[in-house]
Amino acid sequence: MFGLADDVRPAMRAAVLAGKTFALATLYAVGDGGPRPPGSQMVVTPGGASGFLSGGCIEADIALHAASVIDDGQPRHLVYGQGSPWPDIQLLCGARLDILVERVSPDDSALTQLLMQDEARRPAVWVTDGRTHHLDIQGPVRAATFQTRATPFELRRRYDPAPRLIVFGSDPIALATASLGAQAGFETTLVTPKGPSSPPPLTGVAYSRASPEQALRDIVPDAWTTVAVATHDWELDHEALLAALPSAACYVGVVGARRRIPERLARLRAAGVSPAALERLHAPIGLDLGGKAPWEIAVSVIAEIMAGRMKSSPEIAG
């Protein structure tokens, strides 16, 4: 199950709380394709691992090298595939993978800064040559996700705040969307104004009974926050959109009939929502996959959000 984690910061935090030194493995070059992009990472501790760098071909071997890095503190540059010193480890994709493995102690100052930036929902860039590293928090937010320099070797890996999803509603579509969002790695909150006092049994989903305006005031949407409105109540939809569209949220979508979109937009316009904010509204919500069952709509919503994130992410530089 360790490979389901794409963000290794929770594993870093767990290592710090346990007082464990860990090895940070970063995939920094991919030749001839591969299942994971440059910048993908693993955290390996004496007791486990989080993240993955291939389709399962090399993770066990990386863990062995990581144990040596933890023991002696010396970084390793590992090569798998073409040019590898370990021809018995075969990559079915035919790629060449170059990986840096470095040692990080629980009291490391750069790590402490990184976790503080994570808590504050601010981006940061990990800069390392394998032996020493520091955190760059002064660069532009939209700096390249990942960069390397060959001579002298340097790796720069950007960490953005964890993606968040706010779902307004209480019907099966809202519940399915919130549940799928949490499973897909979003910090998810289900907002059901004046809803039941007990939250629905959805794993990893926070719950709020506040009004749309108060809920967003409490959460404070930022550029890594997405909002899905699925209340099936015209007035609640309107309140939620009035609160969400002027915010910094990178995505706002609403469930509803296509034929009522002009009416919805006119009402929002009359309420003072700017043309630029209205252009950001995804209505009807989600990609057109053809399905209308709750899980089918949830898949279309999460897929549309992810597609938007991929399009807006800076290109990887190397």
What gap in Å lies between CA 140 and CA 120, rounded to an integer?
16
List, in sequence order, every residue forming a beta bridge with 149; answer none if it has no partner: 154
The stretch 25-40 carries a mean pLDDT of: 90
For residue 129, the one-letter residue type is D
Q: Is the per-residue pLDDT at 317 higher than 70? A: no
Instruction: Assess contact for 303 and 289: CB atoms under 8 A.
Output: yes
| Model confidence, pTM | 0.90
The stretch 253-277 carries a mean pLDDT of: 95
Q: What pLDDT digit, counting tens, does each position of 239-261 carry?
A: 999 999 999 999 999 999 999 99
Q: What pLDDT digit, counting tens, does each position of 100-117 carry?
A: 999 999 999 999 999 999
CA neighbor of 80 nearest in space, from 67, 68, 91? 91
Secondary structure class of 22 (helix, strand, coil):
strand
More confident residue, 202 or 318: 202
Q: Is the per-residue pLDDT at 140 higher than 60? A: no
What gap in Å lies between CA 155 and CA 311, rounded to an integer?
23
Secondary structure class of 2 (helix, strand, coil):
helix
The stretch 216-239 carries a mean pLDDT of: 96
